[in-house]
Amino acid sequence: MERRIGASGRYIDNWNKAIMKLKAKHLSLFFMCVFMIGYLPAQNHAIDSLRSLIKTQMDTSKVNSLNKLSKELEKVGNYDSAFFYAESANTLAEKDDYKKGIAIALGNMGNFYFNTGNYLKDLDCQNKSLEISQQIGYKRGIAAALTYIGMAYYALGDYPKVLECDFKALTIGQEIEDNTIMAANYCNLGNLFDSQKDFHRAIEYYNNALTIDEKKGDKTGMAVDLGNIGGTYNNLGDSSKALEYMLRALSMTIALGDKDGVSSNYQSIASIYARHKNYPKALEYDFKALAIAREIGDKNNMSLDLANIGDIYTAQKSYTLAREYLDSSFTIAKNIGEKEDIKGIYFLFSVLDSCTGNYKATYDDYKAYIIYRDSLINDANSKKTMQSQMNFEFNRKTDSAKAIQDNLNVIAEKKSQHQKLLLNSFIGGFALMLALALVIFIGYKQKQKANIIISHQKELVEGKNNEILDSITYAKRLQEAILPPIALIKKFFPESFVFYKPKDIVAGDFYWMERAGDTIHIAAADCTGHGVPGALVSVICSNALNRTVKEFHITEPGKILDKVTELVLETFEKSESEVQDGMDISLCCINTKTNEVQWSGAYNPLWYIQHGELHEVEADKQPIGKYDNPHPFKTHHVKLQKGDVLYLFTDGYADQFGGPKGKKFKYRQLIDKLKEINGNSMADQQKMLNQEFEMWKGDLDQVDDILILGVRL
């Protein structure tokens, strides 16, 4: 059944790396060919043989061959021809009132509509197929139609109906001992739980499907299962296992000539590279996936691939290209009515607009994203999902429960005579117990009412907490957009590191870099507070730095800080209440050709190591922000040599409590540590600083954001 819908994959993989889209889409053909038609030979030979055969056949035999030919053509992605032969089979079967042939043909016609993104027409065909199969008692046809209907509802975002259909189909598959039906529905259930972010349960269902497909030797099904498992491990953040399963799936789909499967695996492998910000590799695989999706007319995957490419271009700050690809993706998603895709694309638009400074559009896009998200994943859906699962478990255990009850009845009959003799003796005691039970029951009901009220209040609090967490997590993505990519810093300073450890999801500390000719401006900044308040101030201060260098073309560090102070105060003056927030910063301007360094700082000093000795350049004792009797920031000139190391930092590392006595780490100890590790590579220095920090902190909480930049000239 190659029309398996894959579980959620990437879309917004660079954030959280959350929100979802399809990772492989293959479910109907291998299943339908097996349980409705029987064994089929190799594809090309089968197609040629069937085309020859239908010229000589009549009546029901010809209907069966037309249906087989339709399935074979669908297997190789020739959807138009597959629909033509399915329609021909349906016409001939209706003429002869051959109901089983009609049911199969309608299912094949529905597959065409599904593969081309017309899910409503697919539902219409599959419901008709279900009705006819029920009329003639054709259980495998009933299971197939239910499975396909569930897939269409999945694509349309109606998850409770997906569970209802999949559990019914799985129950029939178990009843008639059809492994193909069971594998298909285990796969679909895995997809659904993956979309609900219940990743461990999703992997459990996928492994059930894989076990069945391995026993059958069904390589097409195995490729789908492996791809789904890999995609879910990617969602869990286990890139190593994800890539292992994806490469196994890709190898199998290439060997099978399964273009749709190859496209989906390219898409999933791209998501793994994107997670690790290897954008050139991610784009390579996304464009491969897009080319195949266009070739086979797969609009759903075209939309996903275009969105993924747009997301990467946003991360690379190629905003014009990003908008072009996201616009194309949105148009396709709207046309096919794919709610999951539309939700994800709105989110990507919000990220793009925030990066380009269009904050009104950012708000509108994110608001649309929330609307679509809430329509797909809400409390009603969650409750219906749980109820459906409970019903399935109950039905599965009914037979064994009945057998147990029969045994109990036998035992009860044997003991009935003895019980009658004892019954009268217990009547008086039973009456007293009944009265006591009534008192206990009344107390229990009162307690139950109180528990319901408490439970409801708890649900409300948890709901609000989830909303707050979603908002903060979104703020994290926006804040990450203002940070320069580590790869860009490495491009100009190959021997460098950024040790960045926010205390909360978002941070008041941030690092900043901008190029002006041969000069690179780089800074470590600490805004007032941490968490959400600190993050808001960091966005304002980062924007002021960008404007100062790009808009006002100021390059001298001291004058940059003077202008940033002016812009920050100007922003805060718009508030009706007095705002005292600001920023401490260490700002370097490094000439990459001469190694000449200009530096200025607000409270935070500059440290550099030359010939094994650590030197300090003191900062101005005033912040960026409101301050009594401010003076212009001083620019210091430092002549350094190749091999010297600069350190820019905030106060979080030195202020961390820990050690055997629970005291602060302090700057003296940090100086000793930097001198100790100076001979190591910058990457190793970062690891050593992190190890020292974790050992010092121990079981205590982190008290502030941590930021240290190291650059070896």
| CATH number of the domain where residue 69 is located | 1.25.40.10
CATH number at 494 reads: 3.60.40.10
Same-domain check for residues 495 and 373: no
Tell whether 477 is covered by a domain.
no
Question: By the 8 A CB rule, do 317 and 355 touch?
Answer: yes
Tell whether 446 is covered by a domain.
no
- Among 358, 380, 402, identify where a domain stops: 380
- Among 324, 350, 380, identify where a domain stops: 380
Tell whether 704 is covered by a domain.
yes
pLDDT tens per residue, range 510-533:
999 998 888 999 999 998 766 677
Same-domain check for residues 227 and 78: yes
Same-domain check for residues 508 and 374: no
Distance CA 538, CA 564 (A): 12
- Rg of the chain over Cα atoms, rounded to whole angstroms, equals 33
- Among 380, 408, 432, identify where a domain stops: 380
Same-domain check for residues 206 and 65: yes
User: Residue 364 — pLDDT band, cuts 50, 70, 90?
Assistant: confident
State the pLDDT at residue 273. Answer: 87
Answer whether residue 359 shows pLDDT above 50: yes
pLDDT tens per residue, range 129-170:
999 999 999 999 899 989 999 888 888 878 888 888 988 998
Tell whether 402 is covered by a domain.
no
Q: How far is CA 678 from the centre of its chain?
A: 39
List all residues 6 or more positions away from 696 whose beta carbon is below 8 Å from its beta carbon.
Answer: 656, 658, 659, 665
Same-domain check for residues 690 and 556: yes
Answer whether residue 447 shows pLDDT above 80: no
Burial class for 138, CB neighbours closer than 10 Å (0-12, 13-18, 19+): buried
Tell whether 616 is covered by a domain.
yes
Predicted TM-score of the model (pTM) = 0.44
State the pLDDT at residue 337. Answer: 80
Tell whether 408 is covered by a domain.
no
Report the domain count for the chain.
2
Tell whether 417 is covered by a domain.
no
Same-domain check for residues 498 and 631: yes
pLDDT tens per residue, range 224-250:
899 899 889 988 888 889 889 988 999
Q: Report the sign of the C-alpha dihedral through residues 294, 296, 297, 303, in that order.
A: negative
Q: How far is CA 132 from the centre of its chain?
A: 40
Domain of 292 in residue numbering reads as 2-380
Question: By the 8 A CB rule, do 542 and 551 touch?
Answer: no
Distance CA 6, CA 245 (A): 14
Tell whether 385 is covered by a domain.
no
Tell me which of 494 and 12 has the higher pLDDT: 494
State the pLDDT at residue 376. Answer: 67
